[in-house]
Structure 1
Amino acid sequence: MHLRNILPPNIYDVIDRAGISTERQIILLSIWDIKKYTNLNLDDILLLKNIVTENVCPTITTGKEELKKFNCNKAGVLTGCTGIDNLLAGGFRRGTLTEVFGESASGKTQLGLQLTLNNWAKGCVYICTEDLFPTKRFEEMKISLPQFDPRIDYGKNIFVEHITEAIDLLSCLRVRLPKLLEHHKLALIVIDSIAAPFRCESNNYVKRAEDLREVAILLTSMAQKFDLAILCINQVTASFEDSNSVLPALGLAWSNMVTTRLMLKKTLNVLDGKSLANISNQQIADHHKTYIRELHVMFAPHLSNMMAQFIVTACGIQDIPK
């Protein structure tokens, strides 16, 4: 940009004769310095500064606005539960890091399994850090797929890894997982759970924070480079401020790296007899009571703080029957 193209000719001629030839000089020089060099009046100097600053000032956008635009036209990774997919504005967002936390039996692993099974054809990675991969439960849910075909191997595009130590998780994320993603087009990575490898007797919290930060950076980089949705299931810890509430584990070192945070709750509300009549005995399976679960949006740049309800049956996560 040349000053001649943006300034009134009479002002440009004056500053040019005074040796003021760059936007930087006009911005940094005080009003009184410009007056001394050019003898322009105050109104002309203010006009000069305003024109230059408006033309050289970069467009200001916030991180939240950029995240809203990021992948806004790409389809999310769906769970198959209409209520949850609607809550998440089309499923789990690609290119970002999503955390789901909740107490025991709230349905965290069920959600991870359902998300994996619903996207088996697109390819998924399921990293287990607490227990072995729940193969039996996976097979139960597989049979209940809307278009289940016994001739199809639903596990052929699902890659399972068992990890118990933080150093092994980092090794997987640094080396093995990127190599896998270079050769296979995948849609989803699930880590169940992110907290387990970092539970240890060591009091080196600085090292743990550094490792957590690296884990989050590696996951986010892969999500953006390979257009993935990443779900990290997290455990909970008691809140010192409120004995009746819980907080996600791993503290601020992890929380500050998460894009979307969701909370799962198992309520005390049970489906009534009329609603249960719409679910077969096979679906209810071993559940003597079918509790209603809730998925709450705690924070997300593209979502409102709302909630969706669902139930867990032998078929997996389902919308509440009407």
Structure 2
Amino acid sequence: MAEKVGEEYIDSSGVLWVMVEGRLFSKQVSLKECLKIRVPRLLQTSCISFGLIIVDSIAGVFRGTAEYDESKDEEKCKGIHYGILSRAKDLKEIGGDLHNLASIHGLCVICVNQVSDAMDNIQGFGFEKKIPALGLSWANMVTTRLMASRTKSFVNLEKNSGECSKGNERTLIRELEVIFSPELPPSKCQFAILQSGVEGIS
């Protein structure tokens, strides 16, 4: 259960959340605390071997609060300009913490980001020209960028997966594309999300 403090909530473990349009988002302060204190402590003391950290989504932490859009103390923070600088600083700090965790403990780190429509044909990637959220501050922290998207094609479940389908039931084909990587060439593959899990489509 979470205790309400204005429009913010504190759960039983002390994590701070903010309510936006009926949904709870963890605040960036809690994410930094998690990466600096809780995750390292867990990795050092747990008898379980961890190989993967997933942050879903990194953009949701910063888009889910108005703290970076406009400061309440304009004389001290100079309004929106302070918000931009503050966000860039926190993004760099969070990215650095994730890199350190990956290096020290031999982990793979996946950060789910959001995308926006590109305003021209020069920027962006993918068929519909999308650009990632959070700008250059976060882009400079990324070593490999993968883009998951929906196509306009469908696949018949019964024919491709062996599962029982109801009549002509079909599922949407999705695509995973390597945008850039120091170890992988630009490439893409197609897959479908089924009740049994994720299945590749050749």
| TM-score under structure 1 length normalisation | 0.45
1:256 partnered with 2:135 = no
Match of 2:92 among 188, 213, 219: 213
Match of 1:171 among 18, 33, 36: 33
**For residue 190 of structure 1, what is the aligned residue in structure 2?**
54
**For residue 294 of structure 1, what is the aligned residue in structure 2?**
175
Instruction: Measure, in 2, the Cα distance between the counterparts of 1:273 and 1:215.
Output: 41
- The equivalences for 1:79-98 within 5 A come to none
Residue identity in the other structure for 1:280: E
**What SS class does the counterpart of residue 319 from structure 1 fall into?**
strand
Q: Deviations over 1:13-59 (max 9, x none)?
A: xxxxxxxxxxxxxxxxxxxxxxxxxxxxxxxxxxxxxxxxxxxxxxx
**What SS class does the counterpart of residue 305 from structure 1 fall into?**
coil
**For residue 21 of structure 2, what is the aligned residue in structure 1?**
none
**For residue 163 of structure 2, what is the aligned residue in structure 1?**
280
- The runs of 4+ residues in structure 1 deviating greater than 6 Å are none
**For residue 194 of structure 2, what is the aligned residue in structure 1?**
313
Residue identity in the other structure for 1:232: C
Does the CA-based 8 Å contact 1:163-1:169 persist in structure 2? Answer: no
Cα distance change, pair 165–268 in 1 and its aligned pair in 2 (3 A): same
Q: Deviations over 1:80-119 (max 9, x none)?
A: xxxxxxxxxxxxxxxxxxxxxxxxxxxxxxxxxxxxxxxx
1:235 partnered with 2:99 = no
Instruction: Measure, in 2, the Cα distance between the counterparts of 1:246 and 1:296.
Output: 13
Residue identity in the other structure for 2:112: I
Cα distance change, pair 274–163 in 1 and its aligned pair in 2 (3 A): closer
Instruction: Measure, in 1, the Cα distance between the counterparts of 2:194 and 2:162.
Output: 9
- Measured after TM superposition, the shift of residue 163 of structure 1 is 5.9
Does the CA-based 8 Å contact 2:146-2:176 persist in structure 1? Answer: yes
Instruction: Measure, in 1, the Cα distance between the counterparts of 2:38 and 2:25.
Output: 13
Unaligned runs of 5+ in 1: 1-128, 131-161
- Measured after TM superposition, the shift of residue 288 of structure 1 is 4.1
Does the CA-based 8 Å contact 1:262-1:299 persist in structure 2? Answer: yes
- The equivalences for 1:58-137 within 5 A come to none
Instruction: Measure, in 1, the Cα distance between the counterparts of 2:182 and 2:86.
Output: 29
**What SS class does the counterpart of residue 295 from structure 1 fall into?**
strand
- Measured after TM superposition, the shift of residue 279 of structure 1 is 2.8
- Measured after TM superposition, the shift of residue 289 of structure 1 is 2.5
Instruction: Measure, in 1, the Cα distance between the counterparts of 2:200 and 2:40.
Output: 35
Instruction: Measure, in 1, the Cα distance between the counterparts of 2:162 and 2:33.
Output: 45
Does the CA-based 8 Å contact 1:291-1:311 persist in structure 2? Answer: yes
Instruction: Measure, in 2, the Cα distance between the counterparts of 1:310 and 1:275.
Output: 14
Unaligned runs of 5+ in 2: 1-16, 19-23, 70-79
- Measured after TM superposition, the shift of residue 260 of structure 1 is 0.5
More helix by share: 1
Aligned residues: 158
Which has the larger displacement, 169-178 or 266-275?
A: 266-275
- Measured after TM superposition, the shift of residue 239 of structure 1 is 1.1
* Superposition CA RMSD, Å: 2.6
Residue identity in the other structure for 1:216: G
